[in-house]
A and B are shown apart, each in its own frame.
Chain A
């Protein structure tokens, strides 16, 4: 067991970069939510927001998920890394100037033009890879910059006791640097079923090897930092890490079960998906045991967010293992069940971790404001919103599956899903209200004077 080594060197934390990325995270989050909201309105009340090309469902749908991943989550994780990496490694990040370039590149050469290009009709029809190829080139450059920015502090020290958060940061950034070009470029060069095998990998890698490791890095960091106690078991941390990095990449083909991709690859991916459930139980048990008895719910808002994220991680992962099984997959694949699953992952697990990370680091930026009451409201609204949407879409998925199974006309399944699409649209109220409350909580209230 290794105690987290927090060094009291606030001067090494680039607070301005934390602040910029934090603000960019929330601004891009609202824009991404707006894309999602408009897309959901178009499904609940088709034709109600006009018929301009740039407002059409397909383009909004592309921008929604790209914005959530590259705008909101990536910025939130960068904000966290600028705070955590110096404290974890005892060294500053590579360069402030590099950080300014990374910030500018990420937001003004990737997210913003990516959105605009998609709306203008330049995109790529691949899941989690919708921004056009020109943007992808910038993403690869930026990911390389991120590796150069955040990893050398860890390498340079050659620490004896590298904390588990650091492992996730290192593994996640290196893996994503490699997986991103694979997911975005290979299907353009390798056609059809063969390309789909690579797409399947990237669909899972985007969530499993980019978002998940960084979210876990946040959770592993915030729990000990906020409770002042070491993590429950360093051995379980290590076991969880290695199993995760071994198993997650092997999940990809479970997106194409019953397809023409060789059955052995499908079965391997399903097996890996099942084992993944076991791994997540290990990771989550370690995290929850670390938080147990700390009064995590009332002690600290950042802590409350990340522990809730841990619970959501458990649920979404076990659901994932379940729906990869052929008996379940044959029914729920292609339905809203899966859309519910991805919202549980990205809006539930990942967003709660990202928000927890921002809340944690925000309170440690000298001079930043913080309004605990509003952040508390944000917590409840977001929890209500994510549950409302996920439960609704899960039921919708079962309804659709039943309609398809019955052999009734296709439109029957669309009609049956209609009420659920309306409820999904209305879930915007708690979700939008929750994030609005979070933003207000970060911009109002007392100025924080304490520093990490």
Chain B
């Protein structure tokens, strides 16, 4: 035995080769077979492979080291699932050559990034992250653009296309696919909940929702806290003084709301802070405590400088009403709630005048120019100056 142990060949053969083969078989090949079997049983009928553009985007993602700050693997742990959504299943990773799981999370996990953010937000954020998220440590990627966030090169378009694939197949699996995978999986009750549970409210807290319940925020007196949070989380886009002119505003379509020229109902602030605004860069902020949201709402509503109500003759008001009934009601609704018969077909909901009252100047600007990034068209060629003013005045009457 002693003689046997002395052989240098033994170190090479057993230590170098034998234990290598053992480890590959035990921790590589054998779990791989189990995963193969699981994938075979649980993959939905038609998972989407990556398109050429998405694949190129994946290469950019790999090249720039995105995976070294953003994991793509939601663990079977409550803390992961609560924050990022359903735990990652094996079949979701079948197109990942090589995998991009990562071992460090400096930024959030991106497994379910698809449709969490709008395209303009993503591009502006990639161009200059701190123009949108003040305290971010993410690098800027200006070489993917031609000098401005709204002038993306093909590489960053590809990258964006790739980001939109993250979690896409899981969404497309639908209830049938989920039920099928759930039945086929050999998991503990806890693990099943992590992998297939409906998910808590705050997973993808930023993802805007078109509709959805939201808590009514209280009136807050804590302006100091509100201002601190506003400067931290809101000013990047909406500007330090609420004029919609923050450093991140230039790449966003539609532009961030200008708080100085709108009067907001508390209900509107509650809804938008909770749900975000679908179709725009406005994220939900559901992961903030509601006292903080109330404080922000107080600051946002306070930017509006009280304007004297212009006194206009009744016939102007009547003219405005007629124009509104003829041209605006289909989208903005009978009662100005933005719920006209055509409203649901638009990517961005029409303005709701009941909960946000624009100044005359703001309305006139919108009527003359339209709103880039929304279906709101310019009306200056179809309506006279008088009609424009009249309707701008008229819509203010909807506010409650």
Contact = CB atoms under 8 A, between A and B. Distances in A.
Contacts of B373: none
A418 B143 CA distance: 26
A57 B64 CA distance: 8
B19 A411 contact: no
Contacts of B323: none
B240 interface: no
A376 interface: no
A194 B65 contact: no
A258 B14 CA distance: 31
Contacts of A333: 75, 103
A407 B84 CA distance: 11
A330 to B, nearest CB: 6
Nearest to B96: A192
Contacts of B346: none
Nearest to A410: B108
Contacts of A122: 63
Contacts of A205: 23
A407 B83 contact: yes
Interface string B84-106: 00011110111111111111111
B12 A42 contact: no
Contacts of B80: 258
B6 A245 contact: no
Given A121-B63, A167-B15, A195-B99, A410 B107 contact: yes
A171 B13 CA distance: 8
Contacts of A47: 130, 139-140
A265 B29 CA distance: 11
A255 B202 CA distance: 27
A193 B35 contact: yes
Contact of B68 (A58, A173, A178, A250): A58
Interface size class of A (residues with CB under 8 A): 35 or more
Contacts of B205: 409
Contacts of B34: 262
A49 B268 CA distance: 42
Contacts of B82: 407
A280 B300 CA distance: 60
B17 A174 contact: yes
Nearest to B71: A334
Interface stretch (A103-111, A154-162, A219-227, A291-299): A154-162
A247 B34 CA distance: 22
B139 A46 contact: yes
Contact of B139 (A42, A170, A197, A418): A42
A20 B274 CA distance: 63
A191 B108 contact: no
A265 B31 contact: yes
A259 interface: yes
A344 interface: no
A404 interface: yes
B100 A125 contact: yes
A146 interface: no
B73 interface: yes
Classify the secondary structure of A's interface with B: helix
Contacts of B141: 51, 56
A448 interface: no
B375 interface: no
A249 interface: yes
A189 B8 CA distance: 34
B30 interface: yes
B15 A57 contact: no
Contacts of B93: 191-193, 196, 260
Contacts of B6: 159-162
A198 B26 CA distance: 11
B377 to A, nearest CB: 37
Contact of A182 (B24, B87, B130): B24
Contact of B94 (A127, A178, A192): A192
B135 interface: yes
A170 B8 contact: yes
Interface in A397-412: 404-405, 407-411
A191 B99 contact: yes
B99 A193 contact: yes
A196 B93 CA distance: 10
Given A125-B98, A187-B98, A404-B83, A46 B137 contact: yes
Contacts of B139: 42, 46-47, 51, 56-58
Contact of A174 (B12, B67, B96): B12
B329 to A, nearest CB: 40
A249 B23 contact: yes
A268 to B, nearest CB: 7
Given A190-B32, A410-B108, 14 more contacts: A56-B139, A59-B65, A123-B63, A159-B6, A160-B6, A174-B11, A177-B16, A191-B96, A192-B90, A250-B27, A258-B77, A414-B135, A414-B136, A421-B137
5 contacts: A155-B9, A249-B23, A249-B27, A330-B75, A418-B135
Interface of A: 42-43, 46-47, 51-53, 56-59, 61-62, 121-127, 151, 154-155, 158-162, 166-167, 170-175, 177-179, 182, 186-201, 203, 205, 209, 238, 241-242, 245-246, 249-250, 252-253, 255-262, 264-265, 268-269, 330, 333-335, 338-339, 404-405, 407-411, 414-415, 418, 421
Interface of B: 5-9, 11-12, 14-17, 19-20, 22-24, 26-28, 30-32, 34-36, 61-69, 71, 73, 75-77, 79-80, 82-83, 87-90, 92-108, 129-130, 133, 135-143, 202, 205, 285, 287-288
